[in-house]
Amino acid sequence: MEPRDVDACVDLDELYVAVVADALDMVGLRNQCPSVTLTARTGIATLHGRCRTTAWEDLDAEDPSPYELELEAVDGCRPGDVLIAAAEGSTASGIWGELLSTAARNAGCAGVLVDGAVRDVAKMTRMGFPCFARSVCPYDSQHRQRVTEVGGAVQVGGVTFRDGDLVFADADGVVVVPQEVEDEVLRLATKKIRDENQTRDAIKAGMPATEAYARFGVL
């Protein structure tokens, strides 16, 4: 499925994980945030874009073609993509680091989400490359882990990520928006931000919280 352009009236930079999760609740999708913690490793606390998915596996033998599919995935990134590395939380190696970040950035990649370990954190931090990951590990992935599929549906913390889905990450966690509900979810999230702003302003001005909730319907 080719990802669609985001509605021009929606500012993705305005959105954040909690409000997107609330909008997903409104359309009946109540399990779109992975149950595992992916921490911002390079000092950049927000990230959003379209998923570029990779599935990973641990190895117990020498890999005859190390790095082949992971390089294919990185070179196939399009501007605004977020590379998803679904490694089931493995700490066998640091599957993402400085060189992949450099190549991904050259392709326009917005950042990476790794359900596993990364390395070269200091170098990625100096680059300013957004990286959310479960853990860190200094080992090279060669003969320890490899990509098994690029572009397929993958699981991270009990949630399905598909190529082209929108994903958001910040200090509250990660949330993914399936493409079939994207337009409605973005509209609802944008509206809730406006309603929350009205509620906040009213409470700051002295309105009791119960009255503010009765008037604006958000909390």
Structure tokens at 106: 């050259």
Average pLDDT over residues 76-87: 97
pLDDT digits 0-9 by tens, 103-124: 999 999 999 999 999 999 999 9
How do beta strands 159-161 and 47-58 pair? unpaired
pLDDT digits 0-9 by tens, 34-47: 999 999 999 999 99
Residue 126 assigned to a binding site: no
**Domain map of the chain by residue range?**
33-177, 187-216
Task: Tell me 218's DSSP state.
Answer: -
Closest C-alpha among 56, 146, 41 to residue 98: 41
Handedness of CA 206, 210, 211, 215 (dihedral sign): positive
pLDDT at 201: 84
Average pLDDT over residues 68-97: 97
Residue 100 assigned to a binding site: yes
pLDDT digits 0-9 by tens, 116-160: 999 999 999 999 999 999 999 999 999 999 999 999 999 999 999
pLDDT at 10: 80
pLDDT at 198: 83
pLDDT at 8: 53
Residue 180 assigned to a binding site: no
Rounded-to-integer distance, Cα 204 and Cα 34, Å: 34
Better pLDDT: 4 or 59: 59
Structure tokens at 114: 């790794």
Better pLDDT: 205 or 78: 78
One-character DSSP codes across 107-166: TT--EEEEEEEE--HHHHHHHT--EEEEEE--S--TTTEEEEEESS-EEETTEEE-TT-E
Rounded-to-integer distance, Cα 144 and Cα 94, Å: 10
E-only strand ranges, the chain = 39-40, 47-58, 81-96, 111-118, 131-136, 145-150, 154-156, 159-161, 166-170, 173-177
pLDDT at 181: 98
b or e along 99-124 (b: 16 or more beta carbons within 10 Å of the residue's beta carbon)?
ebbeebbebebbbbbbbbbbbbbeeb
Residue 98 assigned to a binding site: yes
Residue 99 assigned to a binding site: yes
Structure tokens at 219: 């909390």
Does residue 89 register a pLDDT over 80?
Answer: yes
CATH no. of 33-177: 3.50.30.40
Residue 120 assigned to a binding site: yes
pLDDT at 1: 41
pLDDT at 7: 59
pLDDT at 155: 98
Its pTM stands at 0.91
